[in-house]
A and B are shown apart, each in its own frame.
Chain A
């Protein structure tokens, strides 16, 4: 990991209005992302974990400005994306791509694989002729391990893992620097997940890519990430290097999350103590006062229920938002 900041996220907020009534008036907001700040270093893989609905996807999309954030800012290579003209944003976006969980839903079923992968090349004017496009598509298909002779097939003729490779080839077409992988392996079989993870790592090393890797599989996130951020109800709870986060978690939510992950080792599993969380996730439209985790936290005090803890550096390059971290 270099010391060069590729993406800077400052107090990013994404609130979705809740509308109701006859006049469709705004009656509240889902605070899907509610003020998160961090840097993504060039060449690193930053993992993002947290329970369903905590705002991971929304954060990823707001960082790419696929949503206009309702607050805060995102800069890419030092440029504030909010200040870009639509044309400028379009050009910048070439360098920032996204890979989705469900490759099938994100691939046009009526297009042949060659067209799907070649399309971004044309949209961004990166190829001048049909033969040039064909060559580049061939190169991309080889890069992601797809048989080039499948160029004229349709998405439904491929397996889930192969479709994910198509999605990756399409994302790579514009030679991006930064890719948001949103649950990119979650829908795949275990034996296929490893194929895709190895491919992503190989591409990162060969092409100097930077990833924001969103997933709920904490074992896989530890494996692939250099640093990991833990979100809860739209807020970042903890951010540290992979090793520090897994070996010395400082936030009680991180500890609970880690203790919930079973390890494929039966004798060890029998001995492990679980730190079970009570209750369910509160609604992001109405997050608890004070610390958002206080309603489920085994350590919560009156202070926690009254005052929201600051996201602060509790050790070198290790941040946590807990009064007792």
Chain B
């Protein structure tokens, strides 16, 4: 599965894209829990076609935490919503690719079968818990209902399980709080309730879309530690979307960096921070101040703006902002290829190997 030296010809390169598998070199080749291939989603709007997701591929293994980072509008949310076909449609449409979850292609499942998976084997936590919690329903009833939709338990048993889940995520006096309404919880507590709900059917994969972005740092730290602990106890795989490269450093096993609807770099977390190869990733890391920096070094901002995804883009989407861009960058979009084992980069002149062009 491991890609060796990038092939020289364009045709060979095209085929290698679909073979690209972000697997750890040399480790036990356990099959991936989730395998996303060439996923492409577009929005057909009155202004034209928005190319939100332009063929992304990645995999997540059991118990692994994959972080997805990237600029606002780069397709992080659309990418994970597409997995569960939660894209608003119209105007959105998944136009290509495959999503294999434990060997089943989710894109080919009928609606009923997919509903079983949602909230069951795969659950989602959003940035704003109020988008998924019903404000006029007691939280316990909501969790109980979700459990009963996926498991053959009596109401009594499901309620006990709901209380157990609330206790597990650190809600004090859960047997009492189970009958409260969402608005009776603080923002951080509500996010815990969401996590309890997400965990209630023992999912194998949790998708968390910026679950701590709206929270204070002290509460964010509580939630991050909680997810870390639950993940190691339960062996749940996590896809964690974030724009906070600090949180990602704490939580992730692997990181995928998105830009303009493409994954432009993907690597194990230590490797990505120590040896970033894509000019965008390097720019991102250089534009961050560090809390522990004793000497002040001037921030290196990335100039310019991300591209508009309306209409077709030519060449590498980062080329207009890239200091290393050459003619080939402006003409052809580089494929995501492994430059070293398990480190994928989509760049003609990646900064690790010097590039393929």
Residues of A within 8 A of B (CB): 51-52, 159, 161-162, 189-195, 197-198, 216, 218-220, 222-223, 243, 246-247, 256-270, 274, 276-277, 280-281
Contacts and interface: CB of A to CB of B under 8 A. Distances in A.
B217 interface: yes
B10 interface: no
Contacts of A219: 246, 288-291
B244 A262 contact: yes
Contacts of A261: 217, 246, 291
Most buried by B among A197, A220, A243, A266: A266
Nearest to A260: B221
A265 B250 CA distance: 8
Contact of B290 (A195, A243, A256, A264): A264
B16 interface: no
A260 B217 contact: yes
A256 B218 contact: yes
A189 B283 contact: no
B217 A223 contact: no
Contact of B249 (A190, A257, A262): A262
A273 to B, nearest CB: 11
Most buried by A among B72, B291, B294: B291
Contacts of A263: 246, 249, 290-292
Contacts of A192: 301, 305
B291 A194 contact: no
Given A274-B225, A276-B221, A264 B293 contact: no
B287 A193 contact: yes
Contacts of B224: 262
B269 A266 contact: yes
**Across chains A and B, which 5 residue pairs bring their CB atoms closest together, nearest first?**
A262-B246, A223-B289, A194-B301, A194-B287, A260-B221
Interface residues of B, number: 46
Given A262-B249, A264-B273, 9 more contacts: A159-B305, A190-B284, A191-B302, A192-B301, A222-B291, A246-B291, A262-B221, A268-B292, A276-B222
A198 B302 contact: no
Given A198-B301, A261-B217, A266 B273 contact: yes
B245 A195 contact: no
Contacts of B292: 246, 263, 268
Contacts of B72: 189
Interface string B300-315: 1111011000000000
A259 B71 CA distance: 26
10 contacts: A197-B301, A219-B291, A222-B293, A246-B292, A257-B217, A264-B248, A264-B249, A266-B252, A270-B250, A281-B186
Contact of A194 (B222, B245, B302, B305): B302
B124 interface: no
B275 to A, nearest CB: 12
B221 A190 contact: no
Contacts of A246: 291-292
Contacts of B217: 51, 216, 218, 257, 260-261
Contact of A260 (B186, B220, B273, B300): B220
A254 to B, nearest CB: 12
A281 to B, nearest CB: 8
A246 B294 CA distance: 9
B211 interface: no
A14 to B, nearest CB: 21
A236 to B, nearest CB: 18
A262 B250 contact: yes
A51 B218 CA distance: 8
B218 A264 contact: no
A262 B247 contact: yes
Interface string B273-298: 10000000001110111111110101
Contact of A264 (B189, B222, B246, B298): B246
Contact of B71 (A191, A195, A257, A268): A191
Contacts of B305: 159, 161-162, 192
B301 A195 contact: yes
B259 to A, nearest CB: 10
Nearest to B186: A280
Contacts of A267: 270
B249 A198 contact: no
A277 B217 CA distance: 10
B258 to A, nearest CB: 12
B216 interface: yes
Contacts of B216: 51-52, 216, 281
Contacts of B118: none
A268 B270 CA distance: 10
A301 B357 CA distance: 66
A259 B284 CA distance: 23
B249 A265 contact: yes
Interface in B56-100: 71-72
B246 A195 contact: no
Nearest to A54: B216
A49 B271 CA distance: 33
A263 to B, nearest CB: 6
Given A222-B291, A263-B291, A194 B299 contact: yes
Nearest to B226: A276
A270 B283 CA distance: 24
A261 B188 CA distance: 16
Contacts of A277: 218, 221-222
Given A189-B243, A261-B246, A222 B218 contact: no
Contacts of B218: 51, 256-257, 260, 276-277
